[in-house]
Amino acid sequence: MAKINPKLIDVSHMPDGMLDNPSEYDLMCAGAIKFPKEYYIPKNEWADRIEQVDLNQSAALDFSARFTHQGRSHECVHHATTQGTECVYNRQLGTIDYAVYLSPLFGYSLATNGRERGGSNVMDALYQSMEVGRIPEFDGPDGQNTQYDKFLHTMHQTSGRSETHWPKSGWVKPRRFPRGYEQTAKHFKILEAWAIPNADAHMSALLHGFPIINGRKGHSICHGRAVKDGRKFLSMYRDSYNRDLYDSLKLLGGGFCITSVSMPDDPNEPTGDDVQGKKKRKTIGSR
Amino acid sequence: MNKFLLLFMLIPSVCLANLSGKDTYENHEPIVLRCSPKLTDSETATYVWNTPKPLRVIEVSDNTIHVWSPPGPHVISVTVVTVDWTTRSVSVKEYSRPFVVAGQAPRPPPVVDPDKPVVVDPDKPVDPLTPVETDLVAIIYESDDFIPPPYITGALRQLREQGLEVRAFDKDVTSGSGDVPKQIAAALTAARRIRLPALVLVRNGKVTRAIRLPRSTSAILEAVNGKN
């Protein structure tokens, strides 16, 4: 692999939405389980494993269908959680052909109960994703507004961005959520997650193909690939500003990895009977 | 003398007993058999019906039965135990009636049990020369014991490129409704019958092959496509 630009490693972030790092115990209270000790991969195997993962394209980010952009919002935790949920959803279906784009704004607004600024916590994102799930956003893999007609409840991606087809004033409080959004959200739940106690567990989870949601210095990110750069091992993450960056081992540890999410009866109809056309359309905000 | 007289009186009463019915019944025609021995006031009779399979009967009274029978020749018999309470004597006699039910039995539809997969002994390699038809390839595991290594993802990618549906999931996965996802329900049932992790091939919702997970990309491809 070509040498990675040092400017992309251990990038400092401005605090933009992640509150305190939850402890392993906090995450277990939210629904994660302890990282199984038998799944630790010894460091002397990492290089070989990375080779195998790259050869078979089995990293979590190999199942990522897109970037997200949080703009100037404080939704980073939910952009990261959404990215991770989508990766595992696609992995279970063995392809990104059935990708569904979920709305980070939905999760953030629900977690903060309508507080727009100030950020949220990784623990809350996990709990909410296991308890409620997520609803899709308007836009999908097929383009602008393509998921609007496909699902019963949809929402825009973020309150922090102002592309022409997204609302300029996009903040939505939970009380403005359409009635019955749980009906759609339940199809996109996290079913199983493991707490990540340290850097070794972090790298091991990546080598097993699981995305990790954690954060540092006030910014939350979704890690998805283990990388060897010269003699150093790095964790590649999909930042919620349309870019891939890298963290070295000293910044790793904490957060959770997603190992299993809800699987649809038929990936062509991810929410089964809960689709547009069969029931009255319900959506949020202007498109 | 008295004993001889009693025997003489008893035998005719049993011999006159009649197992009534027709010799031939049309298909779906009610079959009613009645045993009617001539009994004196001091006699009582007990009837024990002998109905060989596949006949089924309902006794509507002591001496009358309704019979359910498939087409073909059959024989029903009855054992009549008669007691004369005056002379305190007992006689036992068996009567039989052959009859035929006309017509042909409907041919039962083939029974396909989706819960009964083709299970291959994990210690015996799959015959690679025998590809099976499939439209979905599922890798099923228990995450407490096993996480699919990279080669499985590589194999599934190749199978996906062939146009097959592929799935890799923990055995406890559910759909949004909390149930087992319908497309993989049969595969999951088959996988549970063998030791996980398992490779299960499905065609039109029916399991066509369920085996222990092969240990290389090429072995997975051979289990699906046969040996090239």
Q: CATH code at B51? A: 2.60.40
- Mean confidence (pLDDT) of chain A: 89
Within-domain flag for A72:
yes
Within 8 A by CB and 6+ apart from B89, the residues are B6, B7, B10, B83
CA distance B163 to B140: 20
| Token digits of residue A38 | 């038998």
Note the pLDDT of residue A287: 46
Residue type, B34: R
Higher pLDDT, A287 or A153: A153
Inside any domain, residue B131: no
> Mutating which of B135, B136, B169 best tests the A interface, going by the most A Cβ atoms within 10 A?
B169
- pLDDT beneath 70: ranges in chain B: 1-17, 106-131, 227-228
CB contact under 8 A, B176 and A262: yes
* A151/B contact by beta carbon, under 8 A: no
Proportion of chain A above pLDDT 70, given as a percent: 92
A269 touches B: beta carbon within 8 Å: no
Per-residue confidence band for A166, with pLDDT thresholds at 50, 70 and 90 = low
**What residue of A is the nearest CA neighbor of B216?**
A56
Query: Are A35 and A196 within 8 A, CB to CB?
Result: yes
For residue A62, the enclosing domain spans: 6-283
By CB atoms closer than 10 A (0-12, 13-18, 19+), residue B176 is buried
Per-residue confidence (pLDDT) for residue B21, from 0 to 100: 85
CATH code: domain of residue B196: 3.40.30.10
What CATH number is associated with residue A68? 3.90.70.10
Kindly list the residues from chain B whose CB atom is less than 8 angstroms away from the CB atom of residue A40: none
Give the number of other Cβ atoms within 10 Å of residue A246's Cβ.
Answer: 21
Count: domains in chain B: 2
**pLDDT of amino acid B112:** 54
Instruction: For residue A182, count CB atoms less than 10 angstroms from its CB and return exposed for 0-12, middle for 13-18, buried for 19 or more.
Output: middle
pLDDT tens digits, one per residue of A169-186: 578 899 988 888 999 999
User: What confidence category does residue A77 fall into, taking pLDDT thresholds of 50, 70 and 90?
Assistant: very high
Q: What tokens were used for A158?
A: 């973020």
Sheet containing strand B24-25, strands side by side: B24-25, B89-101, B72-84, B43-50
How many separate domains does chain A show?
1
Q: Which of A262, A268, A271, A275 to mutate to test the interface with B (most CBs of B within 10 A)?
A: A262
Residue A262 is predicted with a pLDDT of 96
Domain membership of residue B185 as a residue range: 136-225
Q: A55-64, A97-106, B92-101: lowest mean pLDDT where?
A: B92-101
Residue B93 and residue B144 share a domain: no
d(CA B171, CA B180): 9
